[in-house]
């Protein structure tokens, strides 16, 4: 019987009695995903985010200067701040202290207007209670009104009343300390907090909140203790982005305005690279999709730079104006607004809606940038020259791009070396980008031609971090890649047109292979980021070991499989184990079985958690400067591994 056959079931009643209203925290426990996104690693880390968000709000309100986050050996976490402390007075309506109401009731908060907070990241009054609901235990300590207060909860239920423990000692300040243990029954996938993820977030928040000190202490491992504090705020952020690049002028542009609707900060500096790295934030939330603040910034930038270039005769009268893209080439910028009533739109809530912010950012940038340029003619000239160079390359690239566009529109001009699949349905179709012609041959022989296409790349493709767009588009390997995917490139890229919904990079497990993977990924990230965002990009994971037993070959993906295989063949006779090196060591059938067969293969889906991190990663890996690259790889060996098989 089919599990989902449609039958009439006389017994099951569906009436008013089947409708439930989930009271309070019960709703959170039933549907945690709705509150924290997922119960995987993302959701787990989100718990810390909610608690520290509240401390940062205290900082925004001007009362907190230091936050300490400790990951304990048992994976519980403590967040300590020196803010005003959660209110402890009794709330008449509930007959309970405010702190308890906050921890146990959804939509209880001090950020719905009123005197407590002018601007805040907190909006809904749910954060703290959600963490409480999803924690095996949570201990709250408040230092306030001359005393230390505390209360313990288990899975959201108070285990004791809020008690007044002792008087504050001399010199002890106010603050809030929240310790919690994520509920193992909820976070079944992992309870392990990642030091790297948390420290990256904290660094970003320290940049965004000038002067705020955030320390992360990991008691699980020695020497895992970092403190972030930036007196320059987002100015330091821009310097950090440009650390591994060559700035084309010395001074970081910076502006700060406080207005009725909120505060605006902009920092920027151009580097000699070809990418732009413009990051926008609203109330410390990374607005990946931009919005009003970004569009205000962009129009001011175009207007002011063009006006300056014309006025100084750097751009002749008959010459076309510089485009936004020309001007943004090599620009590192951070725009941060803090608003009383932020409105986020878009599916992912990462786009700022507040239209009034456009004018605010635009007029401030126009004014301060014009002054900046006037005061520093040397630097201004370098900035304009950079844009002029970009304009020249753009005009040259237009011709090439046109050629490519014509090429991929006429399907007859699919690249010669592409072995296409017969399926024309992108949802089913897979494109394997394979390193080298010989591995390409094996892949062609082994694939299921119904839905798997193979594109062999000859050796290393061009490093797009080091070339301008004209040169990139003239590269034959890159042209082949663009036409095979069939969705255009850069601004004209159209995800809908992609001929495959899975694009799998298959390269050897050695250093060269890893380099090629990074090159292809960098190209895709810079020129077709939509592919990565849509989750279309994968990395094939060929086996790690080759076991030869009585002239028969076996492959194992990892140590566990290796042991299993050895057990299975009960090693009599000749066994040799070698670390598997190249794809071409396998015949077509083996390649299919181990790496390409959807039933058997393991692939890594490439995700980009934060554009700033990816940007840093790619610049470090592929940029000009060797030192930061080395340091970065050492520091982030684990993450690089993650991204790069």
Interacting residues with ligand ATP between 55 and 74 (CB under 6 A): 55, 58
Q: What are phi and psi of 479, to 5 degrees?
A: -60, -45
Choosing from 510, 559, 564, 635, the catalytic residue is 510
Radius of gyration of the chain (CA): 28
Residue 83 binds to Mg ion (criterion: CB under 5 A): no
Among 54, 76, 306, 522, binds Mg ion (CB under 5 A): 54
Among 109, 233, 296, 582, binds ligand ATP (CB under 6 A): 109
Q: Please report, for residues 9, 465, 632, the alpha-carbon distance to residue 147 in angstroms, rounded to integers and kept in the order given.
A: 62, 57, 46
Residue 127 binds to Mg ion (criterion: CB under 5 A): yes
Query: Considering beta carbons, is residue 54 or 135 the nearer one to ligand ATP?
Result: 54
From 104-112, 274-282, 439-447, 561-569, give the range in contact with ligand ATP by CB under 6 A: 104-112
Residue 240 binds to ligand ATP (criterion: CB under 6 A): no
User: CB atoms < 10 A from the CB of 161, how many?
Assistant: 9
Among 127, 296, 330, 486, binds ligand ATP (CB under 6 A): 127
Known catalytic membership, residue 225: no
Number of residues forming the site for Mg ion (CB under 5 A): 4
Residue 83 binds to ligand ATP (criterion: CB under 6 A): yes
Q: What are phi and psi of 200, to 5 degrees?
A: -65, -45
Choose the contact partner of 58 out of Mg ion, ligand ATP, none; CB within 5 to 8 A by kind.
ligand ATP
Query: Where does residue 154 rank: exposed (0-12), middle (13-18), buried (19+ CB within 10 A)?
Result: middle
- Classify 210 as helix, strand or coil: coil
Interacting residues with ligand ATP between 128 and 167 (CB under 6 A): 128-129
Distance CA 241, CA 234 (A): 10
Known catalytic membership, residue 512: yes
Known catalytic membership, residue 508: yes
Could you tell me which of 484, 487, 461, 465 has the C-alpha nearest to residue 474?
461
Residue 111 binds to ligand ATP (criterion: CB under 6 A): yes
Choosing from 81, 379, 435, 615, the catalytic residue is 435
Among 97, 122, 291, 513, binds Mg ion (CB under 5 A): 122
Choosing from 196, 225, 512, 593, the catalytic residue is 512
Distance CA 459, CA 423 (A): 28
Choose the contact partner of 81 out of ligand ATP, Mg ion, none; CB within 5 to 8 A by kind.
ligand ATP
Q: Would the CA dihedral through 464, 294, 123, 25 be positive or negative?
A: negative
Distance CA 291, CA 305 (A): 21
From 119-127, 177-185, 259-267, 321-329, give the range in contact with Mg ion by CB under 5 A: 119-127
Question: Strand pairing of 603-605 and 537-540?
Answer: antiparallel
- Classify 142 as helix, strand or coil: strand
The single residue listed with the structure tokens 């080395």 is 630
Choosing from 53, 57, 183, 508, the catalytic residue is 508
Query: Considering beta carbons, is residue 123 or 181 the nearer one to ligand ATP?
Result: 123
Known catalytic membership, residue 510: yes
Could you tell me which of 244, 217, 196, 240 has the C-alpha nearest to residue 638?
196
From 53-61, 222-230, 382-390, 420-428, give the range in contact with Mg ion by CB under 5 A: 53-61
CA 141 to chain centroid? 33
Catalytic positions, please? 435, 508, 510, 512
Site residues, ligand ATP (CB under 6 A): 50, 53-55, 58, 81, 83-84, 86, 102, 108-111, 116, 122-129, 176
């Amino acid at each position: 019987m089919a599990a989902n056959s449609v039958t009439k079931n006389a017994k099951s009643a569906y009436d008013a009695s089947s409708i439930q209203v989930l009271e309070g925290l019960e709703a959170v426990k039933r549907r945690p995903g709705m509150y924290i996104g997922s119960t995987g690693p993302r959701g787990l880390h989100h718990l810390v985010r909610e608690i520290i968000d509240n401390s940062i709000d205290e900082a925004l309100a001007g009362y907190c200067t230091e936050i300490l986050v400790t990951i304990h050996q048992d994976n519980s976490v403590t967040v300590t701040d020196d803010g005003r402390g959660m209110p402890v007075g009794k709330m008449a309506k509930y007959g309970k202290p405010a702190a308890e109401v906050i921890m146990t009731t959804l939509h209880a908060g001090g950020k719905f207007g009123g005197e407590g907070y002018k601007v805040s990241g907190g909006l809904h009054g749910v954060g703290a209670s959600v963490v409480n609901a999803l924690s095996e235990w949570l201990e709250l300590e408040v230092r306030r009104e001359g005393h230390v207060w505390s209360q313990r909860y288990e899975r959201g239920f108070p285990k004791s009343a809020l008690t007044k423990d002792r008087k504050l000692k001399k010199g002890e300040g106010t603050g809030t300390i929240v310790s919690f243990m994520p509920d193992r029954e909820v976070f079944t996938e992992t309870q392990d907090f990642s030091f790297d993820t948390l420290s990256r977030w904290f660094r970003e928040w320290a940049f965004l909140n000038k002067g705020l000190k955030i320390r992360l202490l990991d008691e699980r491992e020695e020497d895992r203790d970092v403190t972030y504090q930036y007196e320059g705020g987002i100015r330091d952020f821009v310097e950090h982005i440009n650390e591994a690049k060559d700035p084309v002028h010395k001074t970081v542009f910076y502006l700060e305005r406080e207005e009725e609707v909120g505060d605006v900060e902009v920092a920027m500096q151009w580097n000699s690279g070809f990418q732009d790295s413009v990051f926008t934030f609203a109330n410390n939330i990374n607005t990946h999709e931009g919005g009003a603040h970004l569009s205000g910034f962009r129009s001011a930038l175009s207007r002011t730079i063009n006006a300056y270039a014309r006025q100084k005769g750097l751009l002749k009268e008959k010459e076309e104006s510089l485009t936004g893209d020309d001007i943004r080439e090599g620009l590192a910028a951070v725009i941060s607004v803090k608003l009383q009533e932020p409105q986020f739109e878009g599916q992912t809530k990462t786009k700022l809606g507040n239209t009034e912010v456009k004018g605010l950012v635009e007029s401030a940038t126009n004014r301060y940038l014009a002054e900046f340029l006037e005061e520093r003619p040397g630097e201004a000239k370098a900035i304009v020259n950079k844009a002029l160079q970009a304009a020249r390359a753009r005009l040259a690239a237009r011709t090439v791009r046109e050629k490519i566009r014509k090429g991929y529109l006429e399907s007859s001009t699919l690249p010669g070396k592409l072995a296409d699949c017969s399926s024309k349905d992108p949802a089913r179709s897979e494109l394997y980008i394979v390193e080298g012609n010989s591995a390409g041959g094996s892949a062609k022989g082994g694939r299921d031609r119904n839905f798997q296409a193979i594109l062999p790349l000859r050796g290393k493709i061009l490093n797009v971090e080091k070339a301008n767009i004209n040169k990139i588009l003239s590269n034959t390997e890159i042209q082949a890649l663009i036409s095979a995917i069939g969705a255009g490139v850069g601004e004209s890229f159209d995800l809908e047109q992609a001929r495959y919904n899975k694009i799998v990079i298959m390269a050897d497990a050695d250093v060269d292979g890893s380099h090629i993977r990074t090159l292809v990924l960098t190209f895709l990230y810079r020129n077709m980021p939509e592919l990565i965002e849509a989750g279309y990009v994968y990395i094939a994971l060929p086996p790690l070991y080759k076991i030869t037993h009585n002239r028969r070959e076996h492959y194992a993906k990892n140590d566990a499989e290796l042991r299993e295989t050895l057990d299975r063949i009960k090693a009599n006779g000749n066994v040799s184990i070698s670390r598997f090196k190249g794809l071409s060591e396998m015949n077509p059938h083996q390649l299919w079985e181990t790496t390409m067969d959807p039933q058997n293969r393991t692939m890594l889906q490439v995700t980009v958690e934060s554009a700033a991190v990816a940007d840093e990663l790619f610049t470090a890996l592929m940029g000009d400067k060797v030192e930061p690259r080395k340091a970065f790889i050492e520091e982030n060996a684990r993450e690089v591994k993650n991204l790069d098989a």
